[in-house]
Structure 1
Amino acid sequence: MSEFPVTVFHNPACGTSRNVVAAIRQVGREPEVVEYLKSGWTETCLRDLLARMGEGPRAILRDKGTPAQELGLLNDGVSDDDLIAAMVEHPILVNRPIVETPLGVVLARPSERVFEVLDVRPESFVKEDGEGVLL
């Protein structure tokens, strides 16, 4: 295990997620990459991440490109328990990337949010589309 462990809940098809993995590597950390669409989620894992984020499940609910609308998850009054159960059943409902380190947990959207939970930070970062970000 790294001296500063970093876990990225990652979707390799997502540019933001790829940028986050690249940013972590740029600062000399090798993240544990969890492809959650393959591995899925457990209720315990989601609840733990959300507790560390200080958020409810609606904060990480992804509606674009997911069955969230069809499942009625975007309606008012859907309980946190129902959202988490749906996320466990349909991992695509969880927005990405989520980054976990000893400093905290963030939904790294935009990708530069990853630096909020890293112990080192570059002066700048260039995303895969060529956009430069001064930090």
Structure 2
Amino acid sequence: MTTDVTIYHNPDCGTSRNTLAMIRNAGIEPTVIEYLRNPPTRDDLVKMIADAGLTVRQAIREKGTPYAELGLHNPDLTDAQLLDAMLKDPILINRPFVVTPMGTRLARPSEIVLDILPDTHRGPFAKEDGERVLGADGKRLV
């Protein structure tokens, strides 16, 4: 089943891979945007952050990024300055953002994506680390 679901994905990220697998477990083949190669536009990024109920600062990734070197921890930086940094260096965009007709979420942890997917899961699901998320009946365990 295809539906209007988009994931801003980094295939090197386990959380992003788990999120994509949960979407597919629901029988959905999403639009996959590898945001490091094809970053969102400023307007799209602003909309995703707002629709997910986050602040710009909450949408920044610190771990494994130039966050500290760029001084992005400075509380005096404006949202516009933070967005500029995220768009210049997309690794600073936290991941994965998922957009569905049921809402937008930053799927950290990955099972948050279940809040915005239809209840069409095809049986059990476990994350790459073995943590069970869906039972044999396709119902949420966590």
TM-score by length of 2: 0.88
Q: Name the residue aligned to 1:125.
A: 125
Q: Name the residue aligned to 1:86.
A: 85
Greater percentage in helix: 1
1:57-72 aligned at under 5 Å gives the runs 57-72=56-71
Q: Which runs of 5+ in 1 are unaligned?
A: none
> What CA distance in whole angstroms lies between the structure 2 residues aligned with 1:88 and 1:107?
17
Letter in 1 for 2:25: Q
CA RMSD of aligned residues (A): 1.6
Structure 1: 4+ residue segments shifted above 6 A: none
* Equivalent pair of 2:7/2:97 in contact (CA under 8 Å): yes
Deviates more, 1:122-131 or 1:110-119: 122-131
Q: Which runs of 5+ in 2 are unaligned?
A: 134-140
Aligned-pair CA distance for 1:103: 1.0
Structure 1 residues 79-119: Cα deviation after superposition (integer angstroms, max 9, x where no partner): 10001011110000011111000111111011100001112
Identical aligned residues as a percent: 50
1:1-135 aligned at under 5 Å gives the runs 2=2, 4-120=3-119, 122=121, 124-133=124-133, 134-135=141-142
> What CA distance in whole angstroms lies between the structure 1 residues aligned with 2:66 and 2:19?
25
* Equivalent pair of 2:26/2:118 in contact (CA under 8 Å): no
